[in-house]
Amino acid sequence: MEPVVVVGAGIAGVACAAELVRAQVPVRVVDRGRRMGGRLASRRLADRPVDLGASYLTATQDGDFAKVVDRWRTRGLAFPWTDTFLALDAGADGGPSAEVKTGPVRWGATGGLRSLVEALAGTAGVTVEEGAVSSVTATTDGLDVDGAAAPAVVLAMPDEQAARLLGDGLTQHREQLTRPSEPILALAAWWASRTWDGVVAPGVFHGAFVNGDDDLSWIADDGRRRGDDAAVLVAHSTPALAAAHLEDPESAGPAMLAALQRLLRIEDEPAGTYVQRWSLARPTGERDDPYLLTESGLGVCGDGWGGPPKVETAWTSGRDLGRALAARLA
């Protein structure tokens, strides 16, 4: 049998491929990025990995993903970071005010979140080829990916990216791939020393949801979530700011940095900054279906399928599609 082609090596694509490997179905995984991980993206800045995509993982208690996360914890790859953030109100007058918010345990990764996707692939024996797929079509014999025959093809990516790849014989499925995503810019900024602990609220700073600010929606302390206490912060823009700066993300840097310094009362200038663009950061709206799998063997999975758009949802969607395909093909 020709291999099933999985396009996209974010956590959904790798989870899907892992199930196929387990069922001894031949599989080829292709991603246009130089490294796997997709939106679980860590980049080396200030001599250490900084998470520029997802901020953390959460796992439903006693669920299947919690077991995977626990195995990463046992191997020293992931650790329970915190269950407590601040809610910062940007406050037009009198400066920002802070409220403590407790929620589920958020998990961080010592080597950056991308390392967890690499661990998932490594454990399952999944390898990833670098390459951008441009078209998937249906032929009389099955499916075809850029000229190569495949018994099934999985597009493990947001709807907009998947819909663009559908060619002859598959264009009717574009109607099922209409869930839009909103953009976010991530600003990483690093300093010589930490000055923000205990400043806006007593105790150690881990992160803050930002309310009522035109530019920022969230601030994460990358030193805390990495466990090395480095003086590195990552701030996420509002979708509106990102939409206005998608062509030139660096141009949003000064406004994002000014908001970050104002909110955390940081007077020093940073030693360095970096802006990452996510044109399709997070699916909007809802969809209950756990994945798409057509009679012709076209599969689509990722964080736009099933629960709220997050890492656990993407893993579950990929894993479940992999199982369904394995049951069909093995």
Ligand X SMILES: Cc1cc2nc3c(=O)[nH]c(=O)nc-3n(C[C@H](O)[C@H](O)[C@H](O)COP(=O)(O)OP(=O)(O)OC[C@H]3O[C@@H](n4cnc5c(N)ncnc54)[C@H](O)[C@@H]3O)c2cc1C
Interface map 120-159 toward ligand X (x if CB under 6 A): ------------xx----------------------xx--
Q: What angle do CA 314, 316, 321 make, to 5 degrees?
A: 100
Among 257, 281, 321, 325, binds ligand X (CB under 6 A): 281
Among 12, 116, 230, 298, binds ligand X (CB under 6 A): 12
CA distance 160 to 209: 28
The answer to whether residue 311 forms part of the interface with ligand X (CB under 6 A) is: yes
- The region of 51-59, 121-129, 143-151, 259-267 touching ligand X under the rule CB under 6 A is 51-59
The answer to whether residue 28 forms part of the interface with ligand X (CB under 6 A) is: no
Mutual orientation of helices 311-329 and 64-74 as an angle, nearest 10°?
110
Give me the least distance between CB of 268 and ligand X, in Å please: 25
Q: Which residues pair with 181 in a beta bridge?
A: 283
Is 175 in a helix, a strand, or coil?
helix
The answer to whether residue 38 forms part of the interface with ligand X (CB under 6 A) is: yes
CA distance 183 to 188: 17
Strand boundaries in the chain, DSSP class E: 4-7, 27-31, 42-45, 48-51, 78-89, 97-109, 128-130, 136-138, 143-145, 148-150, 153-156, 181-190, 207-211, 216-221, 232-237, 272-283, 292-293, 298-301
Q: Which positions ≥6 away from 92 have C-beta within 8 Å?
A: none
Give me the least distance between CB of 20 and ligand X, in Å please: 15
Among 13, 297, 299, 306, binds ligand X (CB under 6 A): 13
Strand boundaries in 52-96, DSSP class E: 78-89
The answer to whether residue 40 forms part of the interface with ligand X (CB under 6 A) is: yes
> Which of 280, 248, 254, 323 is CA-nearest to residue 184?
280
The answer to whether residue 186 forms part of the interface with ligand X (CB under 6 A) is: yes
- The region of 54-62, 119-127, 203-211, 251-259 touching ligand X under the rule CB under 6 A is 54-62
The answer to whether residue 287 forms part of the interface with ligand X (CB under 6 A) is: no
The answer to whether residue 100 forms part of the interface with ligand X (CB under 6 A) is: no
CA distance 97 to 88: 6
The answer to whether residue 206 forms part of the interface with ligand X (CB under 6 A) is: no
Question: How far is residue 158 CA from its own chain's centroid?
Answer: 11
The answer to whether residue 57 forms part of the interface with ligand X (CB under 6 A) is: yes
Q: Between 91 and 307, whose beta carbon lies closer to ligand X? A: 307
Binding positions for ligand X, rule: CB under 6 A = 7-13, 30-33, 38-40, 53-58, 132-133, 156-157, 161, 165, 184, 186, 236, 278, 281-282, 302-303, 309-311, 314
